[in-house]
Structures are given as C-alpha cells and as structure tokens.
Amino acid sequence: MTAETRIAEAGESPWRALVTAEGLQDAASAWTSLMLTRISEMAGTNPVACTVFLMRDGGPVTLGSTPQERSPGADMMAAARSAHDQGRAVVRGRMPETGQEGAIAAAVPLEVEGTILGLVGLEMRPTDRGVLSAAMRNLQWGSAWMRDAMRAEQSRADAKRHEQAVHALNAVVTVAERDAFPTASRAAVTDLATRFDCDRVSLGLRRFGRTRVAAVSHSAQFSRRMSLIRQLAGAMDEAIDQRATVLWPDETEVVMSTRGHAQLGQAEGAGHIFTVPLWARDAFVGAITFERPQDRPFAQDELDMLEAVATVIAPVLEEKRRAGRWLITKAGEVVRTQFARLVGPGYLGRKALVAIVVLLVATFWMLRSDYRISADARVEGAVQRVIAPAFDGFLAEAPVRPGDRVAQGDLLVRLDDRELALERLRLVTARARQQIEFDSAVAARDRAETRIRASQIEQADAQIALVDEQIERTRLRAPFDGLIVSGDLSQAIGSAVDRGEPLLSVAPDGEYRIILDVDERQIRDVVVGQTGELRVTALPETTFPFEITTITPVARYREGQTVFEVKATPSGDLTALRPGMEGAGRLLIDTDRRVIEIWSRPIRDWARLKLWQMGLVE
C-alpha cells in the first residue's frame, strides 16, 4: 500500500505519512502529496502534479507522483534532465505574462555527497512571476525532506554492502591464511557455518563432469562412500547443471529442479538448504551448500550475502587448489597436452595453423611492399571563426544550423533588442524635447540657451548613435562565405547568453586542413613534405590526397596511447569534405621493404627497449 493510498483510506495526515514512511517509494508518495497540498494553498499557483524522480542509467525515472494516475509531461521530463545535467534548479515552459497563465515545469536536483541521486518536479500554471518564485522557494525548501530520505536509503545500502564486504573479506582471509588447499577449504566452510549460523556447510569441486565433496564443516575426515557425501554431491550437481543458485524449499515462483536438495533434506533432516555454484576461470569449478534446521529459514538478505561471499572466495579457492599442485606436474601437463594435440590424432586445425605460420614466415621474408603508416584523421576548417555576443543578453533568433552554408553578412544569431529599442525611443523623445527648446531659444534670440540646447542635442544624437550601434551588434552576421561547423541553438531560443560565450563556429567553405594522430612509435618516420591519402567514414569510396605541412613537437595522450598531431593540406576536389569528418589517413614512407620487417617492427622495437632497460644490450 502506497503512502498516498494510506492517506486516502486511513485519513492519515501527509506529514505523518512522510515521517513514518517505510521506504523511499512511500516517502516519495507522501512527499508529493504533501507538497502538492502546500502549493495548492498558495493563491494563483494552480498546481497540476508533483513528482519525485530517481536517476537510473543516466536518466530520470518516476519514483512517486501525485496524482498517481498522471504521468510527467514532456516539459517536466525535459526540465528534470536539464536540472540533472546542470546541477541546479531549472524551470521550463512558457513564462507567464501579466494577466495570463503559463504552463510551467520546474525541477530541483537532490544532491547527496556530490552525486545527484534524484530530482523533485512540479507542474503548475501560475498567474504571474511572483507566484512562480514563491512556488519555487517552497519546492526547494521541501526538497530537503526527499534529500534526507535518499541519504538514509543510500546509507542503508552502503551498510549492507559494507557488511557483505566484511564477510567476504573474512572468508578470503580465512582461506589465504592456510597454505594447503585441504586445510584452507575446511577452515573456510567451518568459518562460514559459524558466521552464518548453519548446521553444516559443504564444499564440492567439479572434476570430469561430476562434483566431489572436498570439505565439510566441523569434519576433518569423511568417507566418500557415505550416503551423506553422495547426497551432497547430488545437490551440488543439481545447482551447477542449472547454472543457478538453488534454495529448498523455494516459495518463489521461479521454476527450478530441487529433487537432489529434497532428497538431502529428507535424509538428513535439514529444513532449509541453499547451494551456490562457484565460478572461476570462466567455468563452474564447484559449489557450496548451506544447511539450516526448520526453525531457522534463510532471509533474503542472508541469501544475497551468502551468494556474494561464495562469489568472492571461489577464485581464491580455485587458485589455492591449482597452486597446491607440484610444479613439475603443472609444466609436464602443459607440455604434454600441447605436444599431444600437435602430433597426435585430431586437432587438424592446430596442425594446419602451425604449417601455415611456417609458410607465411618464409613467404613474407621474401615479399617486399610499400611501407605506410596509418593514423586516425579528422578534417577541420583551415580557419575557424567563433561567433560570440559582445554583451550579455537573451537569444531571440538563430536561423542557421550546423552544416548550413552562409554568405558574408548573412544573419547568424539575433539577440533580444527590445530593451535597447525602448532606450532608443526614450533618447529620441528626449532629443525631440531638446529640439523644441532649441527652437524656442533661437526664436527668443537667447544665445546662451541656444548653445546649451545645441550641445544637448549633439549629446542626444551621440547616445542615439551608440544605441543604434548596440542594436546592430545584437545581430551577429557571417564574417565571410563559409559553413557552420558547430553550434545548434534551435533548442536554446530565449535562453540567456554571456558576453564572449561561443555560440557558433564558421569555417571558410572549401578550405580545409587534416589532423593526423600519429603513434609515438612511428613519428620518427614522418617528415614534412611526405604525401598520403585520406578516406573519411562518410565517404569510404573516395580518396583525398594530402601533403604533410607541420609536425607538432608536443605529444598528447589519447585513448591509451601517446600520439603526435601531424597537420596536412588536402588537394584535389574537396567539395564533398566537411569540417568534423573523421576517418583514416595513410602516409607513404618507403616503397621497398620486406613485409615481415614491416609487420615485426613494433615487436622488435619493444624487445630492443626492454633488453636495453635490463642492460643486456648497448
């Protein structure tokens, strides 16, 4: 039963429902009901819905909403995403004008220890901006309740993970403290039985398609012919064959085979049995079985913890078992296995592979080819001009998009100039008044007054010219014929922009340069003047020749490797190229080298460096 249902059916107050909420979802339902009631009490707010969002996979997911039957609108979801991305309160929708209502969606992020875990949102139709501001203050004030609820939920989850980590670490320490696998396995199952209050914990290892019991808690020795051992092995096989944990008796709706567990429980009097398969080295290597009496069933938290502990100690136990073998046994096993596969029957693919490798080495030693260097490449404009406003303002119009061609003087961006227009009107009115007074002074032949008024008229003309210049500067125009390469402002109309903030980038049409990211191991072969070819992802069938013009002497780290930027100038027909295209470039270094020398060069360079580091070569 949700908090909203409790309030409706039991007459419980929203405050009490919020304070006594048992989980995060109940708290969200109670909080949205309470917040919607508080906002409704404010005149002129006209609230529609209140919602709590939880961040999942990078996007907001509805956790609780009032009313429950209403889903958040598009503006609400957009406001929630913007609030998460910007880390601050966001208001979306049509802002209200005087005497008119606006459809507003507001979202406030819930940040806990530097991470935004969720958001709270409010949809309303306020009558004016004052009402909107008051509602936003209430929403931000009330968000502290949900922030505390999420902090408490996170603390509970952290405590649970900490407990699991402690148990897992203790189990690993128990295994690691023992040198031999038999003693380590016995210590592990005995420790687990004591720690989790189990009657018996057993460990089995998978060998040749069957499970053999390796250790039983509180037992130093046991006979593999015992009925108990056979039943334990059967239960472990049952879990491993199904590749899943098995709980008996299982009250959930999951369909699992539990016949082996039932036989073990009936024969040994165990009331509850839980078996976890052990996964290590990309295979199921065994299983652990936990047994409890009828009056001590496994809780879900205990099942999760047992599974987590088994998952952690499985690789440790497997490595302990493998490490316990004789070294000569390990080496002999590897050599014997590989040699038998190579000269014995079967494994034709391996034999063919060895023959092909020998043939290829001989062939490539004789073959000669061009030596080329490949590098990631991208296309940029030869010159890029950033379009930025000269003063703070609001975006009123942006008629162009990335990819549009523009001519010199075309309008790219227009800022809101209404305040400047009003200022100009005020100045024009003041000038007209000064002109009238000037004419009166001339008619009265008052020379002093005439000079004063003439000076004021000149000052007004200068101010009007200044405002006209500012109005003109609200219209950002193309500095030359070119192509818009970045800056999509179609979704930002009406938003505030700062002075100097980059809005668009324009590149001359038809003038490009190519940036190649050459690996540091190959940069020594690159010199200015070398030629190469470029193919971009968008035009894989077209080749663009280029010539190296500049080698940047500074390296940078990119995607796990150190590269140098090499700049080149393309030639030929470049009408199909666009700034921002990416692809690959090939540089021609030499026209006559052995193929095996080209291919083995990275290995030879690496080996030469390592040998020099070890002092084996000069």
Question: Once rounded to an integer, what is the mean pLDDT over residues 599-609?
Answer: 85
Place of tokens 């403290």: 177
Phi, psi of 280 (to 5 degrees): -155, 145
User: Would you state the structure tokens that stand for residue 7, as one six-digit string?
Assistant: 């309030």
Question: Once rounded to an integer, what is the mean pLDDT over residues 71-92?
Answer: 88
Q: pLDDT tens across 116-155, in order?
A: 889 999 888 887 788 888 888 888 888 888 888 888 888 8
- How would you label 223-253 residue by residue, b for 16+ Cβ within 10 Å and e otherwise? eeeeebbebbbbbbbbbbeeeebbbbeeeee
pLDDT value at position 567?
Answer: 93
Position 418 pLDDT exceeds 50: yes
Confidence of residue 585 (pLDDT cuts 50, 70, 90): very high
* Pairing status of strand 393-397 against strand 496-497: antiparallel
Q: What is the pTM of this model?
A: 0.41
pLDDT value at position 286?
Answer: 93
CB 106 within 8 A of CB 135: yes
Place of tokens 């100039």: 417
Rank 92-101, 227-236, 337-346 by mean pLDDT and report only the highest.
227-236
**Distance (Å) of CA 384 to CA 504, 505, 549, 578:** 10, 6, 18, 13
From 3.30.450.40, 3.40.190.10, 3.40.50.720, 1.10.287.70, which CATH number describes the 3-157 domain? 3.30.450.40
Confidence of residue 582 (pLDDT cuts 50, 70, 90): very high
pLDDT value at position 405?
Answer: 82
Confidence of residue 101 (pLDDT cuts 50, 70, 90): low
Domains 3-157 and 177-323 share a fold: yes
Position 21 pLDDT exceeds 70: no
pLDDT value at position 544?
Answer: 93
Place of tokens 């593999």: 224
Average predicted confidence (pLDDT) for the chain: 84
Rank 9-23, 61-75, 192-206 by mean pLDDT and report only the highest.
192-206
User: Would you state the structure tokens that stand for residue 607, as one six-digit string?
Assistant: 């080996």
Position 494 pLDDT exceeds 90: no
Q: How far apart (Å, rounded) are the C-alpha atoms in residues 262 and 189?
A: 22
Phi, psi of 538 (to 5 degrees): -75, -25
Q: pLDDT tens across 277-291, in order?
A: 999 888 899 999 999
Q: What is the percentage of the chain residues whose pLDDT exceeds 90?
A: 15
**Which one is predicted more confidently, 25 or 118?**
118
Q: For the chain, how many residues are written?
A: 618
Q: pLDDT tens across 170-213, in order?
A: 777 777 777 788 888 888 899 889 888 899 999 999 987 889 99
Question: Once rounded to an integer, what is the mean pLDDT over residues 63-88?
Answer: 86
User: Would you state the structure tokens that stand for residue 314, as one six-digit string?
Assistant: 């499985």
Confidence of residue 96 (pLDDT cuts 50, 70, 90): low
From 3.30.450.40, 3.40.109.10, 3.40.630.30, 3.10.180.10, which CATH number describes the 177-323 domain? 3.30.450.40
Question: Once rounded to an integer, what is the mean pLDDT over residues 429-454?
Answer: 84
- CATH for 511-613 is 2.40.30.170
Min mean pLDDT across 122-126, 252-256, 372-376 is at: 252-256
pLDDT value at position 320?
Answer: 85
Provide the residue ranges of all domains of the chain, joining segments of one domain with +.
Answer: 3-157, 177-323, 331-366, 386-504, 511-613
- CATH for 386-504 is 2.40.50.100
pLDDT value at position 14?
Answer: 66
Confidence of residue 102 (pLDDT cuts 50, 70, 90): low
pLDDT value at position 8?
Answer: 43
User: Residue 31 CB: number of other CB atoms within 10 A?
Assistant: 26
**Which one is predicted more confidently, 223 or 85?**
85
User: Would you state the structure tokens that stand for residue 363, as one six-digit string?
Assistant: 């062939």
pLDDT value at position 568?
Answer: 93
